[in-house]
Amino acid sequence: MPVRRIPKNYRNVTGIAAETKAIGQAQFESTLERDFIALLEFSPDVSRYEVQPVTIGWKDDQGKLRSYTPDVRVEFREALGLEPWLCEVKYRSGIKKDWAVLRPKFRRGFRYARDKGWRFRLVSEVEIRTPLLGNARFLLPYRQRAVPQPSIDAVLDALRTLGRTTPEGLLNSLSCDPWEQAEWLPVIWHLVACLRIGADLDMELNMSSPLWSLP
């Protein structure tokens, strides 16, 4: 469970994300943290994560008590053989501006993670604000949709027949009626979101994006 509750803040965006992989509440203190949580939720490699998982305490050279609470601990699927990450989520400008204050905290985070057999990672907007984030935020609601199995089978069968195609091409193969296509499109996005239809998720998805069958 998170070691402390994030208070409301009228300068930054705070809140609780409704997610399924989180240990405890997926609280966030900024839109950057919110977006990082969306990527963790979407990634097939991530098994679970915990926001503000631990507070690290120490005494500085003057004997004064100091503490540091990293933002997120990330665990990966066991089959990948990856050590957990202990992550600090910060804008690069904030890291540069406050480096003198942040450096001793990050050093403690690195040592703590090393002792636990984890990796300490700084994650910035460069790694988070990518086309993958836009796709993840678009697709996550479709992943939760309840879709009848016959509809799933029909779309997958049509895709296997077509081979490599696009959402537009797949829709046209399913129906020429615009109203029926409007019913098929959420099924297609659901299957892309669940990684049952192949797509390049590092490029912004649109109706002309390449799609292909997966084993």
CB-based contact 129:135 (threshold 8 Å): no
Q: What's at 172, amino acid-wise? A: N
Domain count along the chain: 2
CB-based contact 146:196 (threshold 8 Å): no
- Relative to beta strand 15-17, strand 85-89 is unpaired
Q: Residue 93 domain-assigned?
A: yes
Give the DSSP letter string of 63-106: S-EEEE--SEEEEE-GGGTPPPEEEEE--HHHHHHTHHHHHHHH
Q: In degrees rounded to 5, what are phi and psi of residue 42?
A: -80, -30
State which residues form the domain around 22.
Answer: 15-128
Based on the fold, state whether residues 42 and 142 are members of the same structural domain: no
The tens digit of pLDDT for each residue in 145-187 reads 999 999 999 999 999 999 999 999 999 999 999 999 999 999 9
pLDDT at 29: 83
Which of 107, 128, 149 is the last residue before a domain boundary? 128
Based on the fold, state whether residues 37 and 121 are members of the same structural domain: yes
Gap between the Cα atoms of 36 and 23, Å rounded: 15
Based on the fold, state whether residues 32 and 89 are members of the same structural domain: yes
Give the DSSP letter string of 104-120: HHHHHHHHHHHHHT-EE
Based on the fold, state whether residues 198 and 119 are members of the same structural domain: no
Based on the fold, state whether residues 84 and 162 are members of the same structural domain: no
Identify the residue whose tokens are 């409007």.
182
Instruction: Show the tokens assigned to 112.
Output: 């703590």
Q: Residue 146 domain-assigned?
A: yes
The tens digit of pLDDT for each residue in 40-80 reads 999 999 999 999 999 999 888 888 899 999 999 999 999 99
Q: Residue 10 domain-assigned?
A: no
Based on the fold, state whether residues 88 and 177 are members of the same structural domain: no
Instruction: Show the tokens assigned to 99.
Output: 């480096």
Identify the residue whose tokens are 């097939």.
44
Based on the fold, state whether residues 122 and 145 are members of the same structural domain: no
Based on the fold, state whether residues 173 and 111 are members of the same structural domain: no
Band (26; pLDDT cuts 50, 70, 90): confident
pLDDT over 70 percentage in the chain: 91
Based on the fold, state whether residues 148 and 66 are members of the same structural domain: no
Q: Residue 1 domain-assigned?
A: no
Q: Residue 123 domain-assigned?
A: yes
pTM: 0.85
